[in-house]
Amino acid sequence: MSKPTTARPLNVLQLTDPHLMASADGALLGVNTRDSLAAVIDEVLRNHGQPDLILATGDLTQDASPEAYRYFAEQLQAFDCPSLWIAGNHDDSALLSSIAAESGSDQKQWIQGGWQFVMLDSSVHSKVYGELSADELSFLDRALSEQPEMPAVVSLHHHPVDIGSDWMEKIGLKNRDAFWQVIDRHPQVRVVLWGHIHQELEQQRNGACLLATPSTCIQFATGSSDFAVEPLAPGYRWLELDPSGCFKTEVRRAASFEFDLDEKSTGY
């Protein structure tokens, strides 16, 4: 008598804030962002292998150039799986969506492995802070209402909680209360995932796990009152999502990547 087959977890890779540029030698505070992304991708393949899905959570480019978006798409060809892209404050949301659409990466609602993924655009044209439009909040509520029994991951770029860093409080999600009002109506949301803060963070809120992830380039110093960076290696987040709604997650860094960070910079 054969044993029943147990569905394996869905392996999800989050890549965030690569800040790519049109130029191959484009650097952010002394770090070549193409090289750092390549190092992170190598680390993913070496430590985890192929994911089933990639979530790219904003600031894919620094200069919002078509060349940078297409370079990002080319690098993702190292993985044999779908990817979903959302914009950050350095991105051109319309251009990102247009190029992402060429590979189907512009999907905002995605179901795979017994989980629903909802991708939100929190970018505001020409602003650093984030805000979710009324249409975006309605979409979030509608998407979650359609699958009330399915565990969900909600992704956006801007942080919707206090992270203990004064300078970043001014540039987080401006209408976070409206966002949480929607999330609180849907207890199947197991993970809220974002980028923007260039550091690892994990909190809990009403049964949901709140996760932020290091950038694939430079890292902001945690708990800093003013802009500051620290010489931590670029990284990524890996999630293993079970159809039951249970999950595991970890952050890994490309520790062997060598870089010369400008730690005296007062901005970027």
The residue type found at 17 is D
Q: Read off the pLDDT band of 10 (50, 70, 90).
A: very high
Selection from 84, 66, 81 nearest residue 153 by Cα:
84
| Residue 5: band (very low, low, confident or very high) from pLDDT cuts 50, 70, 90 | very low
What end-to-end distance do the CA atoms of the chain give, in Å? 62
How far is Cα 225 from Cα 98, in angstroms, rounded to an integer?
37
- Structure tokens that stand for 193 in this block: 């995932």
pLDDT at residue 172 tops 60 = yes
Place 6 in a pLDDT band, splitting at 50, 70 and 90: low
Tell me what percent of the residues of the chain surpass a pLDDT of 90: 94
How wide is the angle at C-alpha 126 spanned by C-alphas 19 and 55, nearest 5°? 40
This prediction's pTM: 0.96
**CATH homologous superfamily, domain 10-253:** Metallo-dependent phosphatases (3.60.21.10)
Percent of the chain with pLDDT over 70: 98
Token look-up 């039951």 returns 244
Dist. CA 227–CA 129, nearest whole Å: 15
Among 180, 102, 104, 174, CA closest to 144: 180
Query: Helices in the chain by DSSP H: which ranges?
Result: 33-47, 66-75, 93-100, 134-146, 166-169, 176-184
Q: Which pLDDT belongs to residue 134?
A: 98
Find the radius of gyration of the CA atoms of the chain.
18
Specify the higher pLDDT residue, 155 or 5: 155
Number of Cβ within a 10 Å radius of residue 226: 10
Q: What is the pLDDT of residue 76?
A: 98
